[in-house]
Structure formats: structure tokens, C-alpha cells
Chains A and B, each alone.
Chain A
């Protein structure tokens, strides 16, 4: 993969540093605006994280541990985390006041979420071009589906580790290379006439699409955020089965039936995964570490927040009024 095209001073600095062989001290002002919707910041962060996944052509793999770049990454991450803590505070406080056990709470929070339904629009109304737009935007996270969460495994122990490994085994094809979910997504892109190579659309997707992918990396690459990472993963799985059914129907409606395979697989897979993630991953975590409760809920709230922002963004781009109204968090 080639380094991305910079889109502002921060991503420019990162790409410049990585284009030179020497380790770097990339001093650059980050500004103080919102971070999640800042494409320059999110692209810089995505590029820095990618050093820990597939890397870039002509960039020395040792740059993954370039201390100057890691310092910059931490600065951006601090901004992102503060913004997420603030944006989810109300939702987390309200959730913690309930008396549900963690599994019931995770599933209920996702089910009771009132964000605009992107998948309902995709099922009933979206044009072929809008479907392609959606697939393209999601590609930056789905082409490395479950890769971030693999970093969570060594940070867990006991029953929670067993549950995450069980989920990951399924995500990574359950012993069948052709069922590897990220490869299935690549086939979906190809079937929809899109470029399926890794990172193909990093220069095209929105700040929020990059932010959604980056959030998973941030929660997975920091051991202190492991519980939030588990909560995010559980919420992500729990908000997939029903939407996947709608998206598959939408793809078939616009004549992209071959692109629907991935989503059909996720109807069934995620009906399993949401239960396992909520009950067998989050459940034991709270039993073993009572303090994990709040962080798991924070992770759930982060997933819902980003999903709401991304859905609202695409619906607004396509000139569609949200069906269920925009939540306060989306509006803020």
C-alpha cells in the first residue's frame, strides 16, 4: 500500500516523516477543534496505526516504533478520547444507573439506540451509487475486520479470553480461508464494481469513516482501554445482524446480489456473536474485574456514538432526512 495523500498539516507532517528514512520528531500543532470529524487528524492517525497492521510500500517497518511518531499519535489519541468521554458521558451515566447485568445492558443499549437507521434506508430506498458509496466508506474498517480486536486477546485471561478467541476464530474464517470475513468483504467490493485492494479508498472516505476504524485500533492498542475495547466489540456485533439483513436486501434490490454474500453471512454470524460477546466476553470480565463495568459501557457508547455520526453523515450526504430524527448526540 502507498502512503495516503495528506489532506492538512498533520497528515502532511506524518506522510513527510514517513517518506524520509530517519526517525523523526514531528512537531506540529493539532489545533483545538473537534477531532472525530477532522479528516486531517483522522488520516494522520489512520496512517500511524497502519504501521502496526500492513504498513506501507517503501516505509521501513521499524518506523512502527518511531518514538516521535508515537508521541504524535498519543497527542491525537488524547484529543479523540477526551472528545469521546465528553460525548458519551450522559449515556454512560444513565446506563450505569440501571440495574441490568452487563450482558443485558449491552444488548439493551444497542437495541434502544435511536440513531437514524442507515440500514433501513439502504434496504428500501438507496440507489446503486449510494450502495457503492456505503460499501466504499466502510471498506477502511471492514478490510481489516477483527484485526484490531486480535490485539485484545493477550490482554485478557480465563473465560473472557476463550470467548474472544471463539469469536475471532469465526471472524477469521473458522478454518476456511474463503470464509475469512475481511476477504468476504473484498469480494463484496469487487462484486459491486469497486476496488477491493487494502486501503484503496483511504484517500476518498470521510473523517468519520476513518475515525470509526481508528477507534477500534485505539481501544485495542492500549491495554488500559481493554474493557472499553471489549464493550465496543460487543456493541459492534450486536448492531450488525438485523442491519446486515436489510443491507443484503438492499443490495439485491439494486441488482448487486453477488455483493450481498458478506451481509448474509453476518446475519447469522452476528446473531451468534452478539450473544457470545455480551454474555461470555463482557460477563466474565465484570465478574473478574468489577471496575470493568463502566469501561465496557463506555466502549458500547463509543460504538453507538460513531455509528450514529456515520449514519447521519451518509444520510445527509444523500439528501435524506433521518427517519427517526437526529439524537442529541448526533446534533452536538
Chain B
């Protein structure tokens, strides 16, 4: 496995990850990557962690 993983940070949004095959969540559980690019939750509020579910949009800027 020589593919590189690329990570792109979205201001006030998720991390976009390309090239990964598996993402480990906080508990060490492995989640298969099934898309060419995935978005990882960074606000901690997603109901589908480790994936972003756009919940960050409902967090007011001053509460971040």
C-alpha cells in the first residue's frame, strides 16, 4: 500500500480526506471508506461520527 492520504481542512467545517481506505474513530473502531473523498467531523456534534453530517452548520459561530 503506497497510496498517499491527503487531508484538506475546511474552515468551520470538516476535514476532507482522500486516499484513505479505513478511518479509525475515537474508540479505535475501523470504518471503511467507500467514497473517493470523505468528510470527517471536527465539531464533535455529528450523529454519524467519524463522518460529518453537516451538523456544524447549526452551531453558532460564537459557540465554536
Contacts and interface: CB of A to CB of B under 8 A. Distances in A.
Interface of A: 104, 107, 111, 166, 169-170, 174, 176, 179, 241-242, 245, 267-272, 274-276, 279
Contact of B38 (A176, A179, A272, A279): A272
B53 A279 contact: no
B36 interface: yes
B36 A174 contact: yes
Given A245-B53, A267-B53, 20 more contacts: A104-B11, A107-B13, A176-B34, A241-B53, A242-B54, A242-B58, A245-B47, A267-B54, A268-B39, A268-B52, A269-B35, A271-B39, A271-B54, A272-B16, A272-B35, A272-B52, A276-B16, A276-B37, A279-B8, A279-B10
Contact of B48 (A170, A174, A268, A270): A268
A65 to B, nearest CB: 34
A222 B35 CA distance: 30
Contacts of A268: 39, 48, 51-53
Contacts of A107: 13
Chain B interface, DSSP helix/strand/loop, else mixed? loop
Contacts of B8: 279
B64 interface: no
A281 B43 CA distance: 24
Given A267-B48, A268-B48, A275 B14 contact: yes
A145 B55 CA distance: 24
Interface string B32-64: 001111110000000110011111011000000
